[in-house]
Structure 1
Amino acid sequence: MAGLLQTIRYSLFLRLLAIFSVTVLMFFIIISVSIQTVTRDSAAIETIPDFFARNVESIIEDIGTPPNLSNAMRLAAELDWSINIRNPIMRWSSDGDNRLNLDDTTFVRSLADDAEIRSSDSEDMIVVRRDGYDFYLYQRSLDENAANLAVLYIGLALAGFVLFVNYFMVNRLLDPVRMLRRGAERIRRGDLSYRVHNDRQDELGALTDSINHMADSLQSMLEAKRQLLLAISHELRTPLTKAKLRLEFMPDSIEKQKLREDIDEIDHLIGDLIEAERLNDEHTALSAEPVQLAEFVESVVDQYFSYEGGLEIVLPSEDREFVIDKLRIRLLLTNLLNNAIRHGRDKPLRVEVIFHEGSASLVVQDNGEGIGPEHIDQVCEPFYRADSSRQRNTGGFGLGLYLCRLIAQAHGGSLEIDSELGKGTRISIRLMQRPPQISAEDA
């Protein structure tokens, strides 16, 4: 028995099955008892018990003719019946008001020469006519109807209570599922350091442990990948520096120029990789300082006014001070503008600074080729490109937007992309007025 209880406590399916079974059983009992009670009371009202039919003579003799009304009242109270007595000059009722219409009855059967059972409104009564008096005897039903309703209400209340307990127990069982869903969502968004709290010793506890172990494995694999990539990037710097040095001793030629461009591109890629890994490190500090944000953005955008397609910059009427890492925000804007020029098809670009309460949006919009909806969610991933080719003239290596997102997140902000294929792309960077890590250090 102990083993069975342990199995039930561990198995979510068996516990839900037990709750469902108990709920069905309780409903069956409540409904059965209510129906039986109501049916029994209804049957008692609609038919005359044999005891009264057999003893109607003694009842009438106790009342007497002429009737002793005190005896009639006492018998009505003892038998819990209504007694009505009538003759041409009197109408008396033990209950004050008649529940049944005594003037409209239907014959059912005879009990004696002067006694019969008649029916009114589908309910039987005993009628005795003796010595000029008519005696009407029938069961009281005030209490029966009220009792029937009470039984139904109590049954409904019990059913509601059972449902409430059932809801509470199932909701409590499913609380860990909701916690797991929230944890899985945070891990899916990239928060691999998050672990779902677990103090259960059942199937959900085992599932929670599996999810936490999965997050451990993912974090370990990604960290190993980061370290390998960072190590390779650093190691490439030495031969790249040697290649640059040797390049300077080569005579000028078209081949030398192409080689220099290739080396610069590799150098830029390595720089982006190292910067991305630094930003991925939660211990990396920003070199933040207060600046007038709109003025700073304008100083960066000024370098691109030679763009042939035309460049428009929209700034707020009043500037605000933001605490930012100038070098990294400059890198962010440079990447966004280079992307916009590369894919803008020589059409106008628009840069806008929008201030909000405690934050700002930096918006770069082009009217170029746009990004397909199937690529929107992936373009900020490292090395992902909507165009799978790796040619210089089609857009580099797919690190630009990834780096922009990391810089925005390091400043407590976010990167959002709104694009329509063939019509252009709008990228909005949300920056906090003071990055969270700076605020924490001040506190």
Structure 2
Amino acid sequence: MFGFWKAKTKPGLHHRNRHSIFLKLIGIFLLAGLLLNLLGFGFFRLGRSWQEENRLEDTVLFLLESAILRLGTPPDRALALQMKEQQDLAIAYSPDPEALVPDMNFRRQRGESPDSALDASNGAMHDASFNFLNPRSDFEEEDFYLNTGNVLDFHEGQLTARIRRPEGTFWIQYQFGGPDGNPWGILAFLITLSGVLLLAYSLMRRTLKPIKALMTGVQETSRGNLDYRIKLHRRDELGQLASLYNDMQGKIQSMLESRRQLLLDVSHEIRTPLTRMKLSLEFIPESRRTEALKEEIRLLDTMLTEVLENERLSSLHGALQPRYQSLEPMLQRCIQRFSVAGIRIEHSLEDVSASYDEARMAIAIQNLLENAVRHTDPQNRSISLDLQRDGDTAIITIQDNGTGIPEKEKDRIFEPFYRKAAKPSEKPIQESGSSAGFGLGLSLVHRIVESHGGTIQLESSTDHGSKFTIRIPLTRSRAE
């Protein structure tokens, strides 16, 4: 009565979830790291005033001019080559004080032909020039064309400069890093980044491990397993949540067990006066009134039996007592009880053995047969009980030609206290040995069959009656 029904879990619940909170936290972690780096770089840039940048540029130009002065006048080619080899400082020189880029003077930039009359005077200047720059040097920045004075540019790890002197124009190049730098730099960066991500993943996984344990606990609770406890030894909020879950499980279990025990005690107390009433009726002369009283007492006793069996199967002390034996004798006894009451049950029984609790299974079959009797017309009744074997499964089928069950009620027919809604035009069928009940019969059947590791299936229509099919494994049931 107070038992838990099995909850339907969503497909793929144990698979990796693309909306996982774990992945979201990893994303937040990476985004926060990126933003912190950007903010740090931004504040660093904002903290540097234009005066400081200008002062730094003047200092670099001063150092470069110092290097140029070491070359002498005119510049010493051998000393310039030595600077390139030892200090990695590449220098180009042109005697033309108006040249913009290496090997290209101001007149050529304006499109004048090198075959002009000035070539003779310029020949000497070209003979004094030299170029030890990297062939891939980039002097295509706009500043080198728009600014006719000194230019200093730092781009992609490379310093390029143009310095005007009375003796001519100098271009200087210095490589700090970049594509021509350390080839292992990018690999080292990727390895370091992978290590950081792996460490973050491990820490996140360990931190969020209790969430998975809590999910498992909630699933066990939905299945009715109130004995499950989460084993965590943590002092953070997730550990406290796990502790609260364990306390909740214990309180619910204690509360439900108390209610079950109260119901069992009350049912036993009610059965005692019923027994005294039965004994008292034995000393009263037979009459239609005494027969009616006996029938009412029998109905009350049947209802109490259903309530008690429901609670025994739900309680901790209501385990089945299965024994491997034939199903046929038990079914024959059920048929015999109805034959005594004048109700014919057509049957076809094979000799099939299984591991089952005879008393509980007899209650299930009895309830199904009573349900068939209750919903069939005595003048045109057809009830059949069949037993056959299909591989490792015993199949018990009970079929009638009664009023059937509407399609919309099939999913609820095995719920406790649920009763089929009667149609206005449907006359109640009453006879000796049947009763309307109060909705525990089929619920009890469902519990008994599932306790044996089996299943029960309903096929019904309002035109052809109902058919209940019970499948029980022949091997030892999970109740053992």
Instruction: Give the alignment's TM-score, normalised by structure 1.
Output: 0.63
Stretches of structure 1 that go unaligned for 5 or more consecutive residues are 1-18, 111-115, 306-310, 439-443
Question: Residue 408 of structure 1 corresponds to which residue in structure 2?
Answer: 449
Question: Residue 7 of structure 1 corresponds to which residue in structure 2?
Answer: none
The percentage of counterpart residues that share the same residue type is 28
1:431 alignment partner, SS class: strand
Q: Which amino acid aligns with 1:239?
A: P
Question: Residue 434 of structure 1 corresponds to which residue in structure 2?
Answer: 476
Query: For the residues of structure 1 that align with 2:92 and 2:457, how far apart are their CA atoms?
Result: 88
Change over 3 Å in CA distance of 1:27–1:333 after alignment to 2: same
Change over 3 Å in CA distance of 1:196–1:409 after alignment to 2: farther
Question: Residue 118 of structure 2 corresponds to which residue in structure 1?
Answer: none
Query: For the residues of structure 1 that align with 2:294 and 2:446, how far apart are their CA atoms?
Result: 29
Change over 3 Å in CA distance of 1:29–1:80 after alignment to 2: farther
Query: For the residues of structure 1 that align with 2:466 and 2:300, how far apart are their CA atoms?
Result: 27
1:232 corresponds to 2:259: no
Question: What is the deviation of 1:35?
Answer: 6.2
Task: Report matched runs for 1:388-407 at 5 Å.
Answer: 395-407=436-448
2:354 alignment partner, SS class: strand
Contact 2:407/2:461 (8 A) holds in 1: yes
Say which of 284, 304, 308 aligns to 1:274. Answer: 308
Query: For the residues of structure 2 that align with 1:72 and 1:221, how far apart are their CA atoms?
Result: 94
Change over 3 Å in CA distance of 1:195–1:245 after alignment to 2: same
Task: Report matched runs for 1:33-44 at 5 Å.
Answer: none
Question: Residue 15 of structure 1 corresponds to which residue in structure 2?
Answer: none
Question: Residue 63 of structure 1 corresponds to which residue in structure 2?
Answer: 71
Range moving further from structure 2, 66-75 or 165-174: 165-174
Contact 2:449/2:455 (8 A) holds in 1: yes
Range moving further from structure 2, 97-106 or 325-334: 97-106
Range moving further from structure 2, 324-333 or 121-130: 121-130
Q: Which amino acid aligns with 2:365?
A: L
Task: Report matched runs for 1:67-216 at 5 Å.
Answer: 68-76=76-84, 80-85=88-93, 88=126, 93-101=131-139, 106-110=145-149, 116-117=150-151, 125-126=161-162, 135-140=170-175, 143=178, 154=189, 168-216=202-250
Answer 1 or 2: higher relative contact order, Cα 8 Å, separation at least 6.
2
Range moving further from structure 2, 417-426 or 398-407: 417-426
Q: Which amino acid aligns with 2:80?
A: A
Q: Which has the higher helix share?
A: 1
1:172 alignment partner, SS class: helix
Change over 3 Å in CA distance of 1:217–1:72 after alignment to 2: same
Contact 1:352/1:364 (8 A) holds in 2: yes
1:436 alignment partner, SS class: coil
Query: For the residues of structure 2 that align with 1:350 and 1:154, how far apart are their CA atoms?
Result: 79
Question: Residue 368 of structure 1 corresponds to which residue in structure 2?
Answer: 404
Query: For the residues of structure 1 that align with 2:365 and 2:128, how far apart are their CA atoms?
Result: 108
Question: What is the deviation of 1:108?
Answer: 0.8
Question: What is the deviation of 1:323?
Answer: 1.7
Contact 2:331/2:362 (8 A) holds in 1: no
Change over 3 Å in CA distance of 1:387–1:135 after alignment to 2: same
Q: Which amino acid aligns with 1:231?
A: D
Contact 1:107/1:118 (8 A) holds in 2: no
Question: What is the deviation of 1:126?
Answer: 0.9
Q: Which amino acid aligns with 2:445?
A: C
Question: What is the deviation of 1:344?
Answer: 7.7
Say which of 325, 331, 346 aligns to 2:363. Answer: 331
Task: Report matched runs for 1:378-397 at 5 Å.
Answer: 379-381=414-416, 383-385=417-419, 395-397=436-438
Contact 1:370/1:423 (8 A) holds in 2: no
Query: For the residues of structure 1 that align with 2:70 and 2:33, how far apart are their CA atoms?
Result: 48
Please give the per-residue CA displacement for 1:368-420, whole angstroms capped at 9, x wherever unaligned.
233757x9569433x454669xx996841222133223323432345677999
Tell me how many residue pairs correspond in the alignment.
398
Query: For the residues of structure 2 that align with 1:47 and 1:424, how far apart are their CA atoms?
Result: 100
Query: For the residues of structure 1 that align with 2:462 and 2:201, how far apart are their CA atoms?
Result: 49
Change over 3 Å in CA distance of 1:245–1:29 after alignment to 2: closer
Query: For the residues of structure 1 that align with 2:451 and 2:413, how far apart are their CA atoms?
Result: 20
Question: What is the deviation of 1:332?
Answer: 1.9
Query: For the residues of structure 2 that align with 1:300 and 1:171, how far apart are their CA atoms?
Result: 60
2:226 alignment partner, SS class: coil
Contact 2:374/2:429 (8 A) holds in 1: no
Query: For the residues of structure 2 that align with 1:197 and 1:118, how far apart are their CA atoms?
Result: 67
